[in-house]
Amino acid sequence: MSDTEEGPPTVSTSHNSTATTAATPTQAQAVQDSTSGPKDIRMQAFIADSYPDETGRQWKKWKNELLTRFRYFRIASTQDCVDALHIYGGEQIRELIESLENVPTPSSAESLNEYKKIIAKLDNHFIHMVHPDCARNKLEKMRQNEGESVAQYHVRLRLQVTKCSFTDPDDVIQSKSLQTMRDKKLRREAMVKRYTQQQLLEHAANKKDIDRQAQHMEETLPSAPSARNQVNKVHQKRHQKPKDKPKPKPAHDDKKNNTCQFCGLDHKGLRSQCLASGKTCGSCSKKGYFRSHV
């Protein structure tokens, strides 16, 4: 990049001349910087976010990063700054600078140099997109995501609250955290004990560590429930009343099962084959059986 309009004074030197123009230390440093060649500040191009309320914040962040690199690489002339803005700003910035040429310069920047006038126009274009009502509407819809820690949620809330122009952002963050956090038990504890933001974050971190350690202990002791059940079974068995043993059935003689009820002998077959069939009992004079076997 070259100095054209507001560059520092140059020092003319000649081997044939006996006199040289003296330069102050500041001018000499500027000459050294201006003659050291182009500087690659390695800046990422600016890309506007798809959400308007995010674009203003991203523009501020990108612009401050550019100014930091200007200071580090000692880029001070107006033309060098304008050229760097065109080169490193990317396609969106170059198109905006061209489209904003006919837009009136903000009254607060009329007396500034060309670079600062361009920055003022870009500020008006981007930063006005951050409307507090839009930012507050997005804040109202925010909730703690599943798997998101209280600390991570707190950071998201703080970033969003900074866009809402609240007079007491800390109070808003505290209230929003309590209303929308997923841990109901921690919420009640924080409300009862009136935790500050710092205390809430500390207790949430401690609780998360304890829950993680307890879960690890439970996973490493899978046999504990079965062992406890076994002890309970032994205890119940000791105190259980013995059941009455069933009475043994009387043994039956196979021969008795085959003994004829009429003659008292062991035989199989029809009634007509019984020896008592057609005979008269000598004891009771009845026919058909012998009383002696009863």
Per-residue pLDDT of the chain (294 residues; tens, 9 = 90+): 444 344 333 333 333 433 334 434 443 344 344 445 667 888 899 998 877 667 888 899 999 999 999 999 999 999 999 999 999 999 999 999 999 988 888 888 888 899 999 999 998 888 765 677 888 888 999 999 998 999 999 999 998 888 788 889 999 999 999 999 999 999 999 999 999 989 999 988 888 888 778 877 777 765 555 555 665 665 566 666 666 666 665 554 444 456 777 777 776 667 677 777 777 777 777 777 766 655
The pair of three-digit structure tokens given for residue 78, joined into one six-digit string: 């107006």
* List of residues 6+ apart from 125 with CB closer than 8 A: 96, 100
- Least Cα distance to 198 among 158, 225, 256, 232 occurs for 158
pTM over 0.75: no
- Least Cα distance to 194 among 174, 210, 165, 208 occurs for 174
For 130, counting Cβ atoms within 10 Å of its Cβ (0-12 exposed, 13-18 middle, 19+ buried), the class is buried
What is the reported pLDDT for 216?
A: 77
Measured in whole angstroms, the distance separating CA 79 from the mean position of its chain's CA atoms is 47
* List of residues 6+ apart from 45 with CB closer than 8 A: 88, 89, 90, 91, 92, 93
What is the reported pLDDT for 285?
A: 74
Alpha helices in the chain (DSSP H): 25-34, 52-72, 78-99, 114-127, 132-141, 150-161, 169-180, 184-193, 197-220, 224-238, 254-257
Q: Is 79 left (phi over 0), alpha (psi -120 to 50) or beta?
A: alpha
* Matching residue, tokens 């550019």: 66
100 and 121 Cβ atoms separated by less than 8 Å: yes
> Rounded distance, CA 6 to CA 226, Å?
85
> Rounded distance, CA 38 to CA 173, Å?
46
11 and 20 Cβ atoms separated by less than 8 Å: yes
* List of residues 6+ apart from 205 with CB closer than 8 A: 149, 150, 151
